[in-house]
Amino acid sequence: MKLTFLVDNTTIIDSYYLAEPALSIFIEDDGQRILFDCGYSSAFMTNAAKMGIDLLHLDHLIFSHGHADHTWGLDPLVRHYSEAAWEGRPFKKPVVLGHPDVFETRLIPGVGEIGSLLTKEKLSEHFPVKLTAAPVQLTERLFFLGEIPRSNDFEAKKPLGTLASTGEPDWLLDDTALAWKGDEGLVVITGCSHAGICNIVEHAREVCSEERVIDIVGGLHLLTPPAAQLEPTLSYMAALNLKALHACHCTDFSSRRALSEVAPQKEVGVGLSLTYG
């Protein structure tokens, strides 16, 4: 498997790409071409073009969850495909995969919409859409994890905004991740880890029938976390005995510094490519 960061909060030094507080990762595995999240704007498309990555021939477009910094790039991507059709250029429509709640309208008081700007119905006019809470095997080794059980007592304890459809607090039940099962263990690929990174890893272990974890890549949603969350997270990470940790996006400096004491934290940014297997 090879993955390449198309968008992150930062860029790799001397890589002159666009960055934004968002996430988008291009994944290649077993002949499949997968876009995991599409950032906040068209920045991921600009970066992909500069890297020579063709986004008009994708097998899957997968969303980690429905927040703006992971879905708002969908609008320019749809336009990109529509323009290709009008101009007679070749393309392959990706299957959109996510949790059933991923396109819910999400509101923050005083701010407004922080969720996807496209509904499932509108998007279905452009791409085939598959929404499921169940895990999905994408390739021989790569898995979409589906809805993450909230099994521990220190993560995912606060909602973020409300769901417009019900007016109820948004617990982000759509937050999910990917896991790749290598010969030496799992690589877990996250978007924001609203479900809790420890909960996500435990679910990945169960779905993939593999206890060993070699790397965690993506946002861990550790933004000034309380000690009651950070301390058990650090203990959990230490016990994993990771070969690498690529925490980025929504993981603040203090949390990454703390994580570096228990795991081999690596530099991450737009332009970084990682290969496994």
Q: In three state form, how does the secondary structure of 46-99 look?
A: HHHHHHCCCCCECCEEECCCCCHHHHCCHHHHHHHHHHHHHHCCCCECCEEEEC
pLDDT at 11: 97
What tens digit of pLDDT does each residue of 196-241 get? 999 999 999 999 999 999 999 999 999 999 999 999 999 999 999 9
Radius of gyration (C-alpha) of the chain in whole angstroms: 18
pLDDT at 17: 98
Class of domain 2-275: alpha beta
**pTM confidence score:** 0.98
pLDDT at 264: 98
Question: Strand ranges (DSSP E) for 99-141?
Answer: 106-108, 112-113, 129-131, 136-137
Residue written as tokens 């996430």? 23
Residues of the chain with pLDDT under 70: none
Residue written as tokens 């510094």? 257
pLDDT at 147: 98
- Does residue 151 contact residue 179 with C-beta atoms inside 8 Å? no
pLDDT at 252: 98
What tens digit of pLDDT does each residue of 143-159 get? 999 999 999 999 999 99
Residue written as tokens 């570096």? 260
Instruction: For 171-195, give the DSSP string.
Output: --TT--EEEEE-SS-EEEEES--TT
Round to whole Å and give the CA distance between 12 and 178: 23
Structure tokens that stand for 63 in this block: 């969303």
- Does residue 96 contact residue 136 with C-beta atoms inside 8 Å? no
pLDDT at 143: 98
pLDDT at 155: 98
